[in-house]
A and B are shown apart, each in its own frame.
Chain A
């Protein structure tokens, strides 16, 4: 995502592997200690601790994103106050926006605290459940780590949410993992049912639609993108920017197939 002529624009572009998907969310010690079970063993979809940590990392990335956004808006507000553009002690659009994003960040942190931090402290990894499947017999072309709500609560309110991870595990397989707090399993499973009730290409198409519609942290093999027609590429980019900027849900289309 970048800004061109004053307007946001979304394009597929190559990113260095070591820059892709990184976020400054943990110090070196915590990153090593917390994720040791993930980083020192092969991934197993039967390992509750590993699956919990995968979800924890996705959620923390979102927490980092919303906290950074809140901080940037607060910085903007403070600059506008310093320049005399908005009053310090009266409501203004800039103040409303900054406060709203602070409340959103608070809501995401509360979600992590209640459903992930507290269970983590007691090693209750089973408090988070997972729906999984493996994409087999084809070269992995996509990786993703994302977190999104599955209901429509106002920012700052208690909400139900899932993490969605697509993890290439070998030259012919990728694991798809949807994780959610046990008490929110009903809402979560209903939300991802379009994926899990299908099979084959229909399932991958539903997964693609959800990634374009709700995720923003996914990476596609350059070779795979180069094989797409210009129309397909544009359709994905436009659908993506539509969800980001205009809040329009992506319309179901074969052009949105990412696999």
Chain B
């Protein structure tokens, strides 16, 4: 099985029907916010950081600050 983000983004069984939909959205609100520093020992809360190399590069493709 190939490993990719694509395998996990919908890891919750979203197709099981409407009866589970509220649980699905509740579960999707669960956030993992631990700092993943190289030693995994940091106890500080993580901040939102860009994964695409710096905000400037996104600015080169943005329109009205949107991509």
Contact = CB atoms under 8 A, between A and B. Distances in A.
Given A43-B53, A155-B3, A245 B48 contact: no
Contacts of B4: 146-149, 214, 216
Interface in B1-40: 1-15, 17-18, 21, 23-25, 27-28, 30-40
Contacts of B25: 3
Given A6-B17, A24-B33, A159-B3, A219 B44 contact: no
A34 interface: yes
SS class, residues of chain B in contact with chain A: loop
A78 to B, nearest CB: 11
A60 interface: yes
Given A20-B67, A24-B48, A104-B3, A169 B14 contact: no
Query: Interface size for chain A: under 10, 10 to 19, 20 to 34, or 35 or more residues?
Result: 35 or more
Interface of B: 1-15, 17-18, 21, 23-25, 27-28, 30-40, 42, 44-55, 57-67
Contact of B67 (A17, A26, A69): A17
Contacts of B10: 1, 8, 244-245
Contacts of A221: 61-63, 67
Given A1-B10, A142-B61, A76 B27 contact: yes
A91 to B, nearest CB: 16
Contacts, number: 227
Contact of B14 (A6, A22, A65): A6
A143 B52 contact: yes
A64 B57 contact: no
A23 interface: yes
10 contacts: A21-B52, A24-B47, A25-B36, A65-B5, A68-B31, A97-B13, A141-B61, A167-B57, A169-B60, A171-B60
Interface string A50-85: 000010011011111111111111011001000000
- Which of B1, B2, B52 has the largest number of chain A CB atoms within 10 A? B52
Nearest to B40: A109
Given A34-B37, A220-B61, A15 B6 contact: no
Interface string A126-158: 000000000000001111111111011111000
Contact of B61 (A25, A219, A247): A219
B66 A17 contact: yes
Given A26-B49, A121-B38, A222-B67, A161 B44 contact: no
A30 interface: yes
B36 A21 contact: no
Given A145-B53, A222-B63, 7 more contacts: A8-B14, A26-B36, A27-B35, A76-B12, A79-B27, A159-B3, A167-B52
A166 to B, nearest CB: 8
Nearest to B53: A167
Contact of A147 (B5, B13, B33, B50): B5
B13 to A, nearest CB: 7
A201 B54 CA distance: 27
B40 to A, nearest CB: 8
